[in-house]
Structure 1
Amino acid sequence: MKKRIVILSAFATPLRSGAEACSEEVPSVLKDRFDFVLITARMSRNLPRRGALESGIPVLRLGCGCKFDKWLFPFLASIAAARQHPHIIHAVLESYAGLALVLRVLTCQSTNTQLLVQMMHCSADAVTAISSALVERAKRFGRGDIALIPNGLKLQDIPRAAKVPGRVLFVGRQEKMKGIDTLLCAFAQVRHPGAHLHLVGSGSQKKSYEK
C-alpha cells in the first residue's frame, strides 16, 4: 500500500502563483509512488469543494467560497488533514496546520509572511527552504537542520534564444526583498557601451522602479 501524503497549499489552480507550483507539480510526478491529496482554500463559490488536478491528484477546497477562506485555512486544514490519516503532511509556502503524531514538513519560499512564522518553523518535524536567505532565517528561529532545495525547472520547456550582447535580465516579482534597488544602483555604474537592463515581472514596487 502506498503511503499517503497530504499537501497543504493555501492557493491552488486556478488561483495559485508560481510559488505554489511545487504543490501540484511534485505530486503529479510522484503519484505512482505515493498517494497524494492536495488541500487548499476554496476562495470562490465557482470552485467545487472536491475536484482533481489534470494529473488526477484529488483536491479538497476548504471554506465557504470567499476571500476570507485563506484566513480560515490554517484551522480548517488541520481538521481536513487528520481525516485523511496521512503518513506525512507537507505544508507549502509557510502554510501552517498542526497535527500530532504525523511527520510534518514545512517548505519555506517567502519572506512575506510574518504571523506565527517562528512557531511554524519550530513545530515542523522537517523544514526545507528554496534559498540561502530563508535558511538563515530558519537558523535564527533555532532550526539548524534545514534542507536547502532550490526550485527546479524543466530546461526542455525553455526554448533556446540567441544571446543579446549587453543585455542584463531580471525575472521575478518586483518586491523590496528581491534587492532590485541594489541591482539598479549597481547597473547605474555600468559604463559598457550597449549595456541595457530589462526587468520582467509585476509587483508592488514596479511603478517606483520604473521611475
Structure 2
Amino acid sequence: MEGQIVEWNDAKGYGFIDATTGERRIFLHISAIKERSRRPKVNDKVSFFIRDDEKGRANAVNVTLESAAGLPWQMGFAVLFMLAVIVLVVLGKQSWLWIPAYLLMSIVTFAFFAQDKHAAKRGAWRTPESTLQLFSLFCGWPGALFAQQMLRHKSKKGSFKATLWGCIVINLGAFGWTFTSKGYYWLESLMQSLLA
C-alpha cells in the first residue's frame, strides 16, 4: 500500500499513516522502516504492508520512505545516462541512432510496466517478466527504472531487480563496446543497412 505519515512522535519513535486507499489510520513504529538512512517526519510518503497485531489493530510493516526531495537515485542515474548520450552525439563521439533507440524503447518499456501493473490490480493477463527484462536489455532500461519508481511496480522483488540490473550492465557494456573499432564499424554497418 501507499500512504502519507500524518502524525509522528520522534522522541517515542512512532506515528500514524493515512493510506491512499482510504483505510483507517495505520500505526507505524520506527522499527518497521527499512533502510533507515533518515528519520521519518510528517508528510513523508511511504509504501508499506499491513499486518494486524494480536488486538486486531492495523500496523505498517516493511515500510519504505520515499525520497525526501528530488529524483530517486535510480531515476537520476537514467536521466544522467540519457544526458551523457545526447552530449556524446552532439560532440560526434556516438551515433545519433542511440537517442531514438533509448527514448523509444524506454517509452515502450514504461508502457508495458504500466499495463502489467493495471492487469495485476484487475487480476487480468500479466506481461511475462522475461518480456519486461528483454525490453530493458534492448535499451529500454531507463523506462524500466522510471516505471519502478513512479508506478511502484516490480520495485520490491529481489530476483527481478537483480536480473534488471544484469540487463542494464549488459546494455551499458554493449554501448561501451561501440567505442571500440569493431563496435564502431558494426554500428556504422547497422546504420547503413537501416538507411538503405
Q: TM-score of the superposition, structure 2-length normalised?
A: 0.22
Greater share of strand: 1
Instruction: Answer with 1 or 2: which has the greater Rg.
Output: 2
Q: TM-score of the superposition, structure 1-length normalised?
A: 0.21
